[in-house]
Structure 1
Amino acid sequence: MSLMKMVTKVAVGFAVAKGLQKVQQSGGIGKMMDGLKGGAAQGQGTAQVGSAQSGGLGGLLGQLSSGSGGGAAAGGLGGIGGLLGGLAAAKNGQPAGSSLEELLSQDNPPEEPPQEETAGLMIRAMIMAARSDGKIDANEKETLMATIGDDATAEDMEFVRAAMQEDVDANKIASETPNGMETQVYSMSVMAIEPDHPAEAKYLHELATALGIGQATVNEIHDSFGVQRLYS
């Protein structure tokens, strides 16, 4: 597995983990993952990545399971924008997250950075955001690892483990973000958490400031994912 495909799996893992408490009362993580895969199988063939009308998160997970790649694995920043738009759509039950994709398309680097470097940065951004409240809890970690699955290489898994040990530092992630990728990195960070904890809000504020993203754009990104706005 390449890190580009791992981006999609990590993103779906965090998206699933957000709803973990809601499903624990009805069978736990195993039943939830089976349900997602089952829903995806019904929607394959006609589904577009992430469309809530064609399987939502199940569609994303099913396309990964079937080897079609989907999302970020489809190639470069356009794939990442499609993945984020799809996750926003699946979370909010709306067609294709076009509003977020349009927002992301406004920021493009003069030269697209190497895909593996881009993927590594996105994975680290998601994991760092998820750890900004102090830790990734056991349930979140279980969900993430279940979504990554058995086809990840030892090298890929080592990369994820190293990211989980990295110091939480918004300025460091921002300093490593290529020009034109600021909105993508911030959106990935928001997608990975529910910013309702003071430490998470503080981290996202520091990240947005370091990336040079304005408050109106920050709130628009939060609206796309249906999470609490950072600024009033």
Structure 2
Amino acid sequence: MSSVTGHTALVTGAASGIGLACARALAAAGAKVHLADRDPRVLAVADELGGTGHVVDLTGPVGDLPAEVDVLVNNAGVQHVAPIHEFPAERFSAMVELMLGAAFRLTRHVLPHMYDAGWGRLVHISSVHGLRASAFKSAYVAAKHGLEGFSKVAALEGAPHGVTSNCVAPGYVRTPLVEKQIADQARVHGIAEDEVSSRIFLQRSAVKRLIEPAEVADAVLWLCDNGFVTGTSLAVDGGWTAQ
């Protein structure tokens, strides 16, 4: 039995990739799961898991999502690869709004219930790019660094109420988000697409493979089960940050 058994969880960006893996793991551990995504496929995925799907644009209001949530996994994210002087300003703002602004609004939305219950778990899917920088990813790196700081504030405020807040910081994960980067990475670095994995994705990782979404979900569950771990960032990066 997990600490999430019988609790209600909300996972964003849950139609695929890390979010879907987290929703599956939480449901398997006995949580009632709400899955949120702008992709309508989230409805079918939620049905498969016996959960509830929500089609929502998280750059806007979140009031229609459930507030009586015990576990919140802030995962929704997008990527855009371009040098700063070519990076569309509106794209930068939208990415920060989705990956940092939405995390704030959702946390604010669910904290009153967690405080009343005296128990809660906030898990924010950050990235190794929340701990390190890479060229051509200004919006993503800025948003993830901000998410790391926000999580620490939530940890300090939540501790007296039995609420923990932590980040999971994976390296490159085998997800559609990573696969969609290949062409752009090849273009900005001036290399062939079949070189991107070895020369970009895995160049700084001691473990030379992509992480599987289920491995990230395992880290999320571990944080949910550890009430004394808060205000930290769990690097699941194959040794990237060891350098």
After TM superposition, is the score higher than 0.5? Answer: no
**Normalized against structure 1, the TM-score is what?**
0.25
Report which of the two has the higher share of helix: 1
**Normalized against structure 2, the TM-score is what?**
0.24
Report which of the two has the higher share of strand: 2
Q: Which has the higher contact order (CA 8 A, sep 6+)?
A: 1
Structure whose alpha-carbon radius of gyration is higher: 2
